[in-house]
A and B are shown apart, each in its own frame.
Chain A
Amino acid sequence: DQQVKQNSPSLSVQEGRISILNCDYTNSMFDYFLWYKKYPAEGPTFLISISSIKDKNEDGRFTVFLNKSAKHLSLHIVPSQPGDSAVYFCAASGTSGTYKYIFGTGTRLKVLA
């Protein structure tokens, strides 16, 4: 049972445009969400997180939006740069109980110059 889903395995965007990566979750006990970026042969790099008490969090070019009623979050990258090309994973956790992260299957973003 995939509790965190990234339904788009890949996404191509022109440099300078907005990249929107989506993630859906099924477990209503999740209350903390994160996005990681992964380059080949490296471990995932933390990008941005959001608590369920918020619906938006910004950090520079990266903004995460959370829609709790829809159990949906998205990562916006504006403007997209070629260096953003990587695999992006969303992850979710509950802040009580076992504090493991549940990851989605990833979306490969390609930013075209």
Chain B
Amino acid sequence: DAGVTQSPTHLIKTRGQHVTLRCSPISGHKSVSWYQQVLGQGPQFIFQYYEKEERGRGNFPDRFSARQFPNYSSELNVNALLLGDSALYLCASSLNPTGSYEQYFGPGTRLTVT
């Protein structure tokens, strides 16, 4: 079975631009979460979606938004990019959104903002 897939793998953007990152969950998983990981830190929670509804939001500005589609895939959008948005963006899927289910991570999208 395919794991969590993310696209693109790498991305270089300029300050002020916007970016869209994509994620396909493991087949059968209905919950998708997004995390940001900067160098030397653990992943930080951005959003969780379940059945196309936002179930949780981390401490990120409104420039960050996301959505989930009927096939449970998801997009993360970041507007007005800042240099500090440079990071590895991870998508994770799980069977359902409760905290007692393991989340399985994709390989991530490495975003560089110049």
Contacts and interface: CB of A to CB of B under 8 A. Distances in A.
B53 interface: no
A45 B106 CA distance: 9
A99 B55 contact: yes
A94 B45 CA distance: 14
Chain A contact-residue range equals 20 to 34
Interface residues of B, number: 27
B105 A34 contact: no
Contact of A51 (B35, B43, B92, B100): B100
Interface stretch (A13-21, A64-72, A73-81, A100-108): A100-108
Given A43-B90, A44-B90, A100 B45 contact: yes
B108 A43 contact: yes
B70 interface: no
Contacts of A49: 102
Interface of A: 4, 31-32, 34, 36, 41-46, 49, 51, 89, 91, 93-96, 98-106
